Structure 1
């Protein structure tokens, strides 16, 4: 596919007085562009605009031969349709991929549009949310347009910031000189590292729930278990579908042999995380069943205690009911020791029932 040239004099995403390389923070920034740069032989070249960075690479202004082996890296966070349309015009991005990058909510995937590869990855974070500080899994997305001489990263959500990735790569010019594939691997590695951190945090919560379920104290952990099952499902939706795209990336021709080795290592980490997350689901099911069994047993014990105490109180109630009928001719109604005798009978009967229930484990 023929790359689109930058129009002369076009000032795409001006710095507007901001020192180059300093990211805008949160809502104070007036553009979705976080950072951009041209890289020649693994070293960053300062430019005033994205258009200047593209021109330096494609026009070969910094090389003696006029052929540039560098690339441009543009990072965006939740761009508008207008901003991404401008980049699409410059880099020749496919409209379908641009639409996916704007609206997000995509499954992890790898697609190819001519010589531009479009990669979607899910990012995850384990954060406190709601009353009581319960931790939940929040997801975001990173879309990567990877061409022969450019990389455009589009991030959605609060997780998976790529500033540390850029700084780490810039500290290793030899690796950055491998081109856009090096950036693609670094982003994938950071995303999978995020999976590992969240999976470990979920594992700690599962261990706490398991300990609480099998502790002597009676606690209601059902809501927490169901919440953990929902978080595990969120993790599975992010981790599982990424295995195929990572495997396919390792076989692409634009990926150097050195980067393929790194990608296979990332794929291995992803496989371990995926197996770990699947084991969580298998572990939570018996924990939930054990908890529900304990709840049922506890309810049965409570019912037995209530039934036992009800049987004990039935004795004085029955005797009092008989002698409350107020008939004239009833045994012992006019006996001098009748009242104490009835109290003794009630006490002995209740004591006998109590001892019997205690012997059988009902009380």
Structure 2
């Protein structure tokens, strides 16, 4: 129980979990512990790893972990925290987004004790009568108790019926798997509790809900998310993981050490205390620790050395994306043998659009060959080789051929 309680926000209810664990010890039958992830984005990040490590703790205690790939629920989209309707994804988008999940999660979980289940296996075959039976177990009034639905209803903003279906479908995952325990982020409490209500209607003992904290991203404000570009991906290169960690605000050090460092309980207090007196060195250690969790031994030190070469000694990295371009490329629209820097940035994939490029230039975030570009309409000769830089960590080499 001490290991399970560690870093857990809430166990609903804790006494039931204790009883389930005692029964499991006596019978020798492991608990079924599940968590679902909708592949609405292609990558997992270290915010996801907070609960993945808790799943790993259950594995080490001898229990069975089921990773639910929400390929079917992703077609609806989880409305949690949304103030408006979520655009629905296509089946192809969901399939592509989920392609890399399996290998990424094994960076944390024990491959031999992990079962991956796609919830389309039991949700897709449901007939209308099954869905009607499912919806009969929950009321609109109960749905409107959920904060985001309640706010949207009070503000007369649309809530679609399909959004009401999401918590019920997620809850049905627990019915299909006969889950004993379900993990989720703090923002998933409503969805997890729906499953507790639903399981007895299908003759099952209700699951226990473990709510995990949401790791704030590198911006120090929002929860970690690719939508906010404030994430550290599990599959990111070591240099990128280290560099993004070094960018976090000092006030996040306590939170990141406790939720992302992988240190034992006995090591944490000393590390957090040291961070108060020397935040910079604490970030460096944290960066090494994060890299070493997801990459081979020694990768953390190498990433640190690469960071020093780039930022402390102002060296250009040896490896970066390279592009061979023609001065006649219609996308560059060369005039008198010169091209707009903004168009070069787009062509090299360093920005999303010409407007974004001009904004980055105005903010002083763009350099060529180490020299800042100050004019958003600046041009350079379409000849030779150029090293483009956007921000601190994004480089591209362009050769005109």
TM-score range, shorter chain: under 0.3
TM-score, normalised with respect to structure 1 = 0.23
Give the TM-score normalised by structure 2.
Answer: 0.21
By percentage of residues, which structure has more helix? 1
Give the number of the structure whose alpha-carbon radius of gyration is greater: 1
